[in-house]
Amino acid sequence: MEEIKTIIALVQDAGFIGLLIVLAVPKLRELFGFKNGYQPQIDALQEHARTSNEEVGLIQKDIVIIKTDIKEVAENVAYLKGKLDK
């Protein structure tokens, strides 16, 4: 209970701007007991997003290769068709 009174007194002395500063700085939030219970989930989502971005980049490269291969196959088929028509 004494800890809460100390925090209230500090906020009253620092004012609203002081409270915003405390809430904006992660180290100060932890110092005053404001815990972010979702941080492990946020970290897991950030890692998942990183992995997803890498995989999407690889897929995009593969799509470019496939498009190039399809174009080459189409050209070869057209060439062979031309040879057969003669």
The predicted model gives 42-64 an average pLDDT of 93
Domain positions in the chain are: 1-35, 38-86
Examine the pLDDT at 74 and tell me if it is beyond 90: yes
In the DSSP assignment, the letter for residue 25 is: S
pLDDT for 1 equals: 66
Residue 28 has pLDDT above 90, yes or no: no
More confident residue, 46 or 29: 46
Query: Which tens digits make up the pLDDT trace of 12-22?
Result: 777 777 777 77
What's the mean pLDDT when you consider all of the chain? 83
* Tokens standing for residue 55: 């995989």
Percent of residues, the chain, with pLDDT higher than 70:
94
CA dist., res. 40 & res. 26, Å (int)? 15
